[in-house]
Amino acid sequence: MLYINKELYIQVCYGRAYLNITKTGMKSRRFFKPSYLNLSPKALKHKIHAAEEILRHCTLCPRKCNIDRTRGERGFCRTGNKPFVSSWNAHFGEEAPLVGSHGSGTIFFTHCNLGCLFCQNWTISHGDEGHEMSFESLADIMITLQSYGCHNINFVTPTHQVPVILASLEIAIDKGLKIPLVYNCGGYESVDTIRLLDGVIDIYMPDFKYSSPDAARRYSKAEDYPAVAKAAIKEMHRQVGDLIMDNKGVAQMGLLVRHLVLPEGLAGTTEIVRFLADEISVNTYTNIMAQYYPCYKAQDHPPLDRRLTTEEYKDAIKAAKNAGLRRLDRG
């Protein structure tokens, strides 16, 4: 990263140069090419092979189930070695930099590697809503979403399906895919798997759900979540940097973090925003989300049995600003 002066700098990554305006946090491109189009076919095939090998003793995520998904064995995520998709569409409910004027091309994968008892998409994550398909079919979905004019391909809950994404991407590239890829995940990621995606993913959009191991254990069956999420987000930022947008405000590359505020501060918002500001970047594009409402089994776990109060959300925004975060999503 080369600083020109206190206001302007040029960021060079994967052969792409950007003019960035750090004072306002808005960043406009000089030229752009999605990461995966800079990979040689040989390099992509190597990543596909490496991901497929992981499935034989699955350690794709921190659960490390060590089962052979290529032989029909099922671990925590209950998923095999084929794409398992719930739905796909041009989505206009995501953050503004992803939606732009033509929507984000979302592909919702079935199942999840987390066990959140308040999941707002629980019929997909905890249930079996969706169906298996071929790599070719998943590639065709990407191309269709691109034909709709979507600004990106947004893989929702992709963690346990990284190998099928890579295999399908190879086919989609041959069919003419040329828009950015978004990795929209729960934050419970293996750093090794994220490293495998280096040079493939343009925009990482992880949740950061909890700062407390106890809360992570009680509500998502993942006591190690805080440490795991921090390590994963650091690696994501190392790869793609702060969020970069074109001159229309549409995201091209970078990190975007979501944090869902929970009642009575259960998520540990203050510690999370301090981590983002101090250990990632004060320019981390952050969505402090107020839309929590009781779902799935939340009614049995007070205070998750109620919505946020206005004051709880205001306190979360204040904490983010006090921590020094400069780019908060306006919702």
Its pTM surpasses 0.85: yes
Q: What is the DSSP letter of 207?
A: B
Range 37-323 classified under CATH 3.20.20.70: yes
The pair of three-digit structure tokens given for residue 129, joined into one six-digit string: 């809503």
Indicate the helix (H) or strand (E) that contains 162: helix 162-174
The gap from C-alpha 251 to its chain's centroid, in whole angstroms, comes to: 13
Tell me the β-bridge partners of 72. none
In this structure, are residues 128 and 110 in contact, taking their beta carbons and an 8 Å threshold?
yes
Mean pLDDT of 198-203: 98
pLDDT tens per residue, range 216-266: 999 999 999 999 999 999 999 999 999 999 999 999 999 999 999 999 999
CA dihedral 232, 199, 160, 252 (to 10 degrees): 80
What are the distances in angstroms from CA 47 to CA 85, 91, 95? 22, 29, 30
Question: How would residue 330 be classed by pLDDT, with cut points 50, 70 and 90?
Answer: confident
d(Cα 53, Cα 262) in Å, to the nearest integer? 38
Question: How would residue 121 be classed by pLDDT, with cut points 50, 70 and 90?
Answer: confident
Q: How do the domains of the chain map onto residue ranges?
A: 37-323
Count of CB atoms within 10 A of residue 74's CB?
Answer: 13
Count of CB atoms within 10 A of residue 54's CB?
Answer: 17
pLDDT tens per residue, range 167-187: 999 999 999 999 999 999 999
Give the Cα-Cα-Cα angle 303, 308, 310 (nearest 5 degrees). Answer: 140
The pair of three-digit structure tokens given for residue 106, joined into one six-digit string: 């979302």
By DSSP bridging, strand 181-185 and strand 131-132 are: unpaired
Tell whether the model's pLDDT for residue 192 goes beyond 90.
yes
Sheet with 2-3, side-by-side order of all strands:
2-3, 8-13, 16-21, 27-29
Q: What is the DSSP letter of 307?
A: P
pLDDT tens per residue, range 32-59: 899 999 999 999 999 999 999 999 999 9
- Tokens 């500001």 appear where? 277
Tell whether the model's pLDDT for residue 329 goes beyond 70.
yes
Question: How would residue 331 be classed by pLDDT, with cut points 50, 70 and 90?
Answer: low
The pLDDT value given to residue 128: 87
Tell whether the model's pLDDT for residue 133 goes beyond 60.
yes
The pLDDT value given to residue 30: 53
pLDDT tens per residue, range 139-153: 999 999 999 999 999
